[in-house]
Amino acid sequence: MFRVAPISFTPAFVPAFLFASSVLLLGGCSLLPKKDPTETGAQPVADASSSERVTGDAFSLKVQGPDAVRDYLTQHLEIQRYRQIRDLGATELSRLMVAAESNARELLATLGYFTPTLTLELKETPGAKTPREVTITVEPGEQTRVGPVDIRFSGAITRPGDAVAAARQEAIRSAWTLRTGQLFTQLGWDNAKTVGLRNLTAKRYATANVASSRAEVDADSGEAKLGVTYESGPAYRFGPIKINGADRYSADGARRIARVPTGTDYDQQKLLDAQQRLASSGYYDSVFLTLDTEGTDPESAPVIAQVREAPLQKVVLGVGFTTDGGPRVSLDHVHNQMPLLGWRAVSKLSIDRVTQSLTTEWNGIPDDNGWRNFGSGRLQRQNAGTYDVDSGRVRGGRAKIGDHIDRSYFLQYDYSQNRGDNAPPSAAAISANWGWTGRYFDDVASPTRGQGLALELGVGQTLIGESVPFLRSYARYLGLLPIGQVRGTDGGIARNSRLQFRLEGGAVVAKDSAKVPSTLMFLTGGDTTVRGYSFQQIGTVRGDGSVVAGRYMNVASVEWQRPVVWNGKLSDFESTAFVDAGSVADSIGALKAKVGVGVGTRWRSPVGPVQADIGYGVDTRKYRLHLRFGFTF
């Protein structure tokens, strides 16, 4: 049962009684027959000689007092609802003012002002747009502050000897948002109870509720004693997942994709993660996961997955634009259940100014350990440095995508044919590769803190010319470090400024005579690497001035990001300033950094972050505009 005790305080009892009485009187007045003003000698309310009084509001309302109080009362006072009653008489308006005083006291009490001084005046304004003006002058007095806070629990969370339950109680008390000494408001009180309940239901106790709450306000001392009791209900554990709506695709496959941790304590975040895995698998247009708490065993509560399946095949035509490649058109074909294999295939044709490619990716359903088989192929023509490359790639192996860590190992065949004056010779190679990526961000779509690290390691053999072994390694890092908070003058929620650090490096170790495919070597420059330079503009510079892919590469970047305050409020925009540096060469000693500096802006759009930067290439002495949508690592 959910019970909330009302706020109690003595000084407002009489105004509350008057307010209730006046509401009843006004209701009674509306039932009385209207009298002809000529019978009593009274004048009509509306003056027939003034059209403004017939068509305008019956009165205007003016609230005088501190800004926050004035705006709040102006917006929420009940008397505002009667302004457009054109035949409202002076007597009825006087009665409304009595009710308005009580209403104002109740509204001020929600802000923590329990001893206000109110003055109400009614003034005739025959020359104005409204015939009368109601003025409410407010002296709110001292705002009430929070006194002792008593947070209690009942139910399974109080079971003796349960260390996890005891830790949950302490965590909720530590995270309580309305602490002793803070200003008391009804909104803050309600939010504090809600946050506490949300924290309790997030883990283990899915059916917890507020059993009782009280706020005892002593208006004379300006102190509010708070107390709340949370009923935890039973402790729940994940049971088996049940798929509702599965027809075309295997329910067992959905279970393996979702990876609900059956047998472990209920965790709302783990349930949301499982829902996200199903939703992003491509097999379903909509997914909704819930824990079944109705008449089930709390130690094995079923997880209900309500799904709506995606079509077996889908074709998508896309258009886009990047500052690296210019306008782009693409054609995607998805087959969610390939004949014979039963794998999911995504094939894509993409054409822009720099790159034209045809790719296909095949992925199997993961096994019970989360590992899946995959294969991919790519045919591509790309401008790389000062020459063009026609390349092909075939890859096959196994991969595992986790909550934070992705792993893969695979065999890969690469072929590249270089075209242009003095272009590098064509090459081919086969390699065995291992990949590891860890993501620890607060938000995978638009992070504000955290870090990510990706590593790749491959061992291969060249296939054209002299057959020699080679070793390829690659690493990249991205870190977001908060350095202070920015808050608007409106006192709203603050957001962090931060520094973003980015590092990237790669190396291909082989004999000088080894013909390693250029697609396995390195070029840099562009929107996501060194800004101020065009896409893959930075490479190994030959004696004739041509730029080719090199065996060693490093990139470093530091960026300052700060929320923008507009008209006293935090906006969805951020300003940035950055310094990027990168270099590519065929030997470590020949690496020489090319620097780009600039400024930009970030927009937290409803569909993801949008980035716009203006970079200046110190080496080229040119400015470039860089646009990017979304966040990936």
Q: How far apart are CA 188 and CA 182, in angstroms?
A: 10
- Hunting for tokens 């992925």 — which residue is that? 363
| Domain 145-231 shares a fold with domain 423-629 | no
CB atoms within 10 A of CB 426: 18
Architecture in CATH for domain 423-629: Beta Barrel (2.40)
Q: What confidence tens digit (pLDDT) does each residue in 61-82 have?
A: 889 888 878 888 888 898 888 8
Higher-pLDDT residue of 111 and 227 is 227
Q: Going by DSSP bridges, is the β-strand pair 238-244/301-309 parallel, antiparallel, or unpaired?
A: parallel
Pairing assessment for the beta strands 132-139 and 117-124 based on DSSP bridges: antiparallel
* Separation of alpha carbons 127 and 131, rounded Å: 8
Q: How far is CA 559 from CA 487, 528, 576, in A?
A: 21, 12, 7
How long a stretch of residues is the chain? 633
| 387-401 and 371-384 beta bridge pairing | antiparallel
pLDDT of residue 114: 84
| DSSP-derived secondary structure for 122-149 | EEE-TTSSSSEEEEEEEE--SPPEEEEE
pLDDT in tens, 447-481: 999 999 999 999 999 999 889 999 999 999 999 99
Each residue's pLDDT tens digit, 545-556: 888 899 999 999
Could you tell me if 547 and 540 are in contact, meaning their C-beta atoms sit under 8 angstroms apart?
Answer: yes
Q: What is the mean pLDDT of residues 484-495?
A: 78
Q: Which CATH number fits domain 145-231: 3.30.530.80, 3.40.47.10, 3.10.20.310, 3.10.310.30?
A: 3.10.20.310
Other CB atoms within 10 A of residue 183 CB:
13
Does position 629 have pLDDT exceeding 60, yes or no?
yes
Run of H or E including 173: helix 163-174
Q: With cut-offs at 50, 70 and 90, classify the pLDDT of residue 115.
A: confident
Question: What strands, in cross-sheet order, belong to the sheet with 132-139?
Answer: 60-64, 132-139, 117-124
Q: Domain spanning 238-309: which CATH class is it, in words?
A: alpha beta
Query: Looking at the domain 13-139, which fold is it?
Result: Ubiquitin-like (UB roll) (3.10.20)
The answer, yes or no, to whether residue 306 has pLDDT greater than 90, is: yes
Task: Among 1-10, 164-173, 201-210, 621-630, name the one with the lowest average pLDDT.
Answer: 1-10
Element (H, E) at 161: none
As beta bridge partners, residue 457 has: 434, 473
Find all residues with CB under 8 Å of 30, minimum gap 6, and list them.
Answer: none
Count of CB atoms situated within 10 Å of the CB of 41:
6
Give the rounded percent of residues in the chain with a pLDDT score beyond 70: 91
What would the DSSP string read from start to end of 52-93?
HHHHS-S-EEEEES-HHHHHHHHHH-GGGGGTT-TT--HHHH
Residue-level pLDDT at 542: 85
Which helix (H) or strand (E) covers residue 348, if one does? strand 344-352
Q: What are the domain boundaries of the chain?
A: 13-139, 145-231, 238-309, 313-363, 423-629
Tokens standing for residue 275: 């829902």
Residue-level pLDDT at 150 = 95
Binning pLDDT at 50, 70 and 90, where does residue 52 land?
very low
Which tens digit of pLDDT belongs to each residue from 531-549?
999 998 999 988 888 888 9
Percentage with pLDDT > 90 across the chain? 61
Pairing between β-strand 371-384 and β-strand 355-363 as defined by DSSP bridges: antiparallel
Model pLDDT, residue 619: 94
Rg (CA), the chain: 35
- Kindly state the average pLDDT of the residues 134-146: 88
| Residue 124 CB burial class (10 angstroms; 0-12, 13-18, ≥19) | exposed
Integer Cα distance of 445 and 449 in angstroms = 12
Residue 211 has pLDDT above 50, yes or no: yes
β-sheet bridge partners, residue 397: 374, 410
Helical pair 13-29 and 90-110, crossing angle rounded to 10 deg: 140
3-class DSSP assignment, residue 119: strand
Amino acid, res. 140:
P
Residues forming beta bridges with residue 608, ordered by sequence position:
605
pLDDT band at 53 (very low <50, low <70, confident <90, very high): very low
Number of helices (H), then strands (E), belonging to the chain: the values are 9, 27
CA 523 to CA 378: how far, in whole Å?
19
For the chain, the first-to-last Cα distance in angstroms comes to 47
Per-residue pLDDT tens digits for 10-49: 343 333 333 334 433 334 433 334 444 333 333 333 333 3
Residue closest to 323 by CA, chosen among 289, 283, 280, 354: 354
pLDDT at position 385 is 67
The pLDDT value recorded for residue 292 is 95
Distance CA(347)–CA(127), nearest Å, equals 75
423 confidence band (pLDDT: 50, 70, 90): confident
Cβ–Cβ < 8 Å for 103, 19: yes
Q: Is the model's pLDDT at 620 over the cut of 70?
A: yes
Return mean pLDDT, the chain: 87
Place of tokens 């490649």: 325
Q: Which of 283, 241, 260 is nearest to 403 (CA)?
A: 260
Torsion angles phi and psi, residue 450, rounded to 5: 115, -170
Residue of 196, 200, 198 lying closest to 164 (CA atoms): 200
SS3 630: coil
Number of C-beta neighbours around residue 328 at 10 A: 17
pLDDT at 243 over 50: yes
